[in-house]
């Protein structure tokens, strides 16, 4: 993602919103301002001359003003009393056979109930007294009964297992049916099979490199609309704060019957497995509310997660390899497999350290100093840290250096993770795609941007899937879209937003040729494809006197009457697709929309209305295949 070239617009001050969450006030803003104000001009000059991230972090940590903050851990703990209250509310609903409402209360009780652990838990286990049931186990067992009546057998069985694990007496016989449905996300097959080098991408994709464009994706063979191009798990992912209550922290799946963190009551998981594999949360748990209160952006959370998902020893073992330079050529010269879970692949994504202003770097450093101070309050550094909050050990400096690099990488390489919200069952009316978090996908990050996207993204949990939305011939660039699509946003604004966030001057075909926005597209002038060389034949379809149009490129005559006839057919196909969408027949709609795109691609060059309507409809159908939440009417049970 993003070119390696020099910053084209070096004078914009654009760092702030990448670090602070503009919609969420917090104390970090004031903290940064106070530290910056306390800095003399000489000190700032000294900072601006520093050459390495390590020197910058060391310099900032030694400023007395950064320690004028009292960092405390606080988090929402468990409460046996609240759990009991919720459980009793659940029992009342269960007694009235209102199982959905009972499920809600029991879930709240499960989340609030203290989870036995450590010494206390060992004692209970050893005493093996069936009367000493834990509140946690009781709440789970009650919830499993509600789930059973709701026919959610998979969750029901899982809750029974977890309750038994936490010392609920084994029932004499269990009346849970043996077969139950397990929900598994559907990850489609990559078009043409898996790429041997870039294992998250289709065989039809190749990654090229040049000095001007950096790394970018190219079609290794002809790509057709509907082809699955990338399926990738995130290297790291972070859930939006607003979604904590209904999605798994680890995999982002919705939590019908959540499994809580053992210590706090803010964080939920979809399963015991996800809880067990979330080392990051055992680190973040005591400081989570502090971090939220700081008002730091989701990018900063993602940066921190890149560190907290591994113990510090993981990074120390690699220390020799982690030099500060940016060497991107490595990927394309090196014929090794590009494994997206390989830390070095992440480490080598672009960060543009060289073209940052001192002010930008200083702002980032203060964020990192804050994060290090917060991490010092956790068990993360353990014996490798210093006990005191205003001293810093070499390991802490090293971690700060990593964080500073990650914060820059995240700016250019993070993707939004989303879910599609339907306003009612089986209807596209009012449906919208909503952000649920952010993630880093090392392979997807290699695709360059175009305002005329070639693929749409959707998600299963936090795993990304992309499909081609148009025909791409072998050898052509396969672009992605970084949230700036030409049909809906005016060129100056797109270019400004891209320069602001990603630091490049967009030069895609839509920007270069001033393609009109959807509302300004004029259907009377269209660019037909020459039947011989595919060269564009601009035609005003209102005034066609002679159907034979001569190609300026190759001199051939193309009879556009047959093309016009084909276009009439596409209108029919599109209408058919819309009918299938109205009936929510997704498979049929998808097939028709793909067919329509192919027909249009064979006749005309974009931009024109029908083409973008087709793509728009196709993207909606794709979104329904990923994370999907359907709003139910309140009265429904
Ligand atoms: Zn999960
Ligand atoms: Zn927790
Ligand atoms: Zn553009
Ligand atoms: Zn031609």
Distance CA 559, CA 562 (A): 7
pLDDT tens profile 454-507: 999 999 999 999 999 999 999 999 999 988 999 999 999 999 999 988 888 999
Cα separation, 473 vs 288, whole angstroms: 48
Is cis: bond before 267, omega within 30 of 0? no
Q: How far is the CA of 503 from the centre of ligand 4 (A)?
A: 38
What is the C-alpha to C-alpha distance for residues 581 and 596, in angstroms, rounded to an integer? 14
| Residue 511 tokens, joined | 């920007």
Contact 542, 522 (CB under 8 A): no
In 3-state terms, what secondary structure has residue 382?
helix
Compute, in angstroms, the gap from residue 535 CA to the centroid of ligand 4. 5
Distance 234 CA to ligand 2 centre (A): 22
Q: What pLDDT band is residue 634 in, cutting at 50, 70 and 90?
A: low
pLDDT of residue 120: 55
Q: Indicate whether 636 pLDDT > 60.
A: no
pLDDT of residue 352: 81
Helices (H) and strands (E) in the chain, counts: 23, 16
Q: What's the token pair of residue 367?
A: 């964020």
Ligand closest to 282 (CA) is 2
Ligand 4 centroid – CA 546 distance (Å): 17
For residue 549, how far is its CA from the centre of ligand 4 (angstroms)?
10
Report the C-alpha gap between 321 and 298 in whole angstroms.
Answer: 28
Task: Check residue 326 and give its pLDDT.
Answer: 59
Q: Report pLDDT digits (tens) over 246-264.
A: 899 999 998 888 999 999 9
In the chain, CATH 1.25.40.10 covers: 80-165
pTM: 0.86
What separation in Å is there between the alpha carbon of 157 and the centre of ligand 1? 17
CA torsion angle 496 502 504 506 (round to 10) = -60
Please tell me the number of the ligand nearest to residue 535's CA: 4
How far is ligand 3, taken at its centre, from the CA of residue 215, in Å? 17
Residue 223 or 78, more confident: 223
Ligand nearest to the CA of 272: 1
Give the distance (Å) from ligand 1 centre to CA of residue 247.
8
Q: How far is the CA of 476 from the centre of ligand 4 (A)?
A: 19
> Structure tokens of 23?
């919609």
What is the 115 CA–ligand 3 centroid distance (Å)?
52
Q: Are 463 and 234 in contact (CB under 8 A)?
A: yes
Give the pLDDT confidence score for residue 332 in this predicted structure: 47
Inform me whether the pLDDT recorded for 353 exceeds 60. yes
Distance (angstroms) between ligand 2 centre and the Cα of 128 equals 27
Q: For position 166, what pLDDT does the model report? A: 80
CA of residue 144 to ligand 1 center, whole Å: 19
Under 8 Å between Cβ of 425 and 632: yes
CA dist 200 and 443 (Å) reads 7
Would you say 408 and 361 are in contact if contact means Cβ atoms under 8 Å apart? Answer: no
Identify which ligand lies nearest to the alpha carbon of 460. Answer: 1
Distance CA 453, CA 510 (A): 10
- Residue 176: the pLDDT is 47
Residues with CB under 5 A from ligand 4 (ion): 530, 532-533, 535, 551, 553-554, 556
Starting from the CA of residue 507, give the closest ligand: 3
- Which ligand is in closest contact with the Cα of 115? 2
Rounded to the nearest whole angstrom, what is the distance from the C-alpha of residue 407 to the centroid of ligand 1? 25
What is the band of 76 on the pLDDT scale with cuts at 50, 70, 90? Answer: confident
Average pLDDT over residues 613-631: 92
Domain 80-165: homologous superfamily in CATH? Tetratricopeptide repeat domain (1.25.40.10)
Could you report the per-residue pLDDT of 149-195, keeping only the tens digit for each?
999 888 998 898 888 888 766 654 445 444 444 445 589 999 999 99
Is the pLDDT reported for residue 70 higher than 80? no
For residue 231, is pLDDT > 90? yes
CA distance 294 to 303: 15
Closest-approaching ligand to the CA atom of 256: 1
């Amino acid at each position: 993602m993003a070119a390696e070239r020099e910053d084209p617009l070096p004078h914009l001050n654009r760092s702030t919103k990448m670090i602070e969450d503009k919609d969420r006030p917090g104390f970090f803003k004031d903290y940064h301002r106070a530290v910056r104000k306390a800095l003399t001009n000489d000190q700032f000059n000294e900072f601006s001359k520093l050459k390495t991230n390590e020197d910058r972090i060391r310099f900032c940590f030694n400023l007395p003003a950064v320690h004028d903050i009292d960092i405390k851990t606080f988090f929402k703990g468990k409460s046996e009393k609240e759990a009991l209250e919720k459980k009793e509310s659940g029992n009342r609903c269960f007694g009235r056979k209102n199982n959905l409402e009972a499920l809600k209360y029991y879930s709240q009780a499960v989340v609030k109930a203290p989870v036995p652990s450590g010494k206390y838990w060992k004692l209970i286990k050893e005493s093996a007294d069936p009367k000493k049931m834990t509140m946690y186990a009781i709440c789970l067992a009650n919830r499993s009964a509600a789930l059973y009546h709701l026919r959610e057998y998979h969750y029901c069985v899982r809750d029974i297992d977890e309750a038994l694990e936490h010392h609920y007496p084994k029932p004499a016989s269990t009346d849970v049916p043996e077969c139950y449905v397990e929900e598994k996300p559907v990850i489609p097959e990559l078009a043409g099979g898996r790429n041997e080098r870039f294992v998250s991408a289709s065989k039809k994709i190749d990654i090229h490199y040049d000095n001007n464009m950096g790394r970018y994706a190219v079609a290794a063979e002809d790509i057709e609309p509907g082809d699955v191009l990338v399926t990738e798990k995130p290297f790291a992912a972070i859930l939006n704060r607003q979604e904590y209550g209904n999605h798994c922290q680890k995999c982002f799946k919705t939590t019908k019957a959540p499994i809580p963190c053992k210590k706090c009551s803010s964080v939920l998981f979809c399963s015991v497995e996800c809880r067990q594999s979330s080392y990051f949360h055992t680190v973040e748990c005591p400081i989570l509310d502090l971090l939220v209160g700081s008002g730091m952006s989701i990018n900063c959370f993602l940066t921190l997660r890149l560190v907290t998902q591994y113990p510090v020893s993981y990074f120390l073992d690699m220390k020799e390899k982690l030099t500060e330079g940016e060497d991107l050529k490595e990927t394309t010269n090196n014929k090794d497999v590009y494994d997206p879970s390989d830390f070095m692949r992440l480490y080598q994504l672009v960060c543009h350290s060289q073209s940052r202003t001192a002010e930008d770097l200083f702002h980032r450093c203060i964020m990192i100093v804050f994060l290090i101070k917060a991490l010092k309050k956790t068990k993360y550094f353990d014996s490798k840290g210093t006990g005191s909050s205003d001293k810093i050990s070499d390991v802490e400096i090293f971690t700060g250096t990593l964080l500073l690099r990650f914060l820059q990488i995240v700016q250019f390489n993070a993707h939004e993770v989303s879910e599609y919200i339907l306003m009612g069952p089986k209807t596209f009316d009012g449906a919208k795609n909503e952000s649920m978090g952010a993630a880093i996908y090392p392979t997807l990050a290699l695709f360059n941007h175009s305002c005329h996207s070639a693929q749409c993204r959707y998600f299963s949990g936090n795993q990304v899937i992309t499909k081609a939305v148009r025909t791409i011939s072998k050898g052509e660039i396969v672009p992605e879209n970084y949230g700036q699509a030409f049909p809906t946003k005016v060129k100056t604004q797109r270019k400004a937003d891209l320069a602001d966030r990603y630091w490049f001057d967009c030069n895609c075909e839509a920007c270069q040729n001033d393609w009109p926005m959807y509302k300004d597209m004029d259907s009377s002038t269209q660019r037909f494809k020459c039947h011989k060389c595919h060269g564009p034949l601009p035609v005003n379809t209102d005034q066609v006197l002679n159907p034979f149009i001569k190609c300026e490129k190759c001199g051939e005559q193309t009879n556009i009457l047959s093309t016009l006839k084909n276009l009439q057919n596409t209108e029919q196909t599109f209408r058919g697709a819309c009918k299938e969408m109205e009936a929510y027949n997704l498979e049929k709609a998808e097939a028709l929309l793909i067919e329509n795109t192919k027909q249009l691609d064979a006749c005309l060059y974009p931009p024109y209305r029908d083409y973008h309507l087709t793509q728009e409809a196709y993207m909606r159908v794709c979104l329904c295949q990923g994370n999907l939440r359907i709003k139910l009417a309140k009265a429904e049970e």
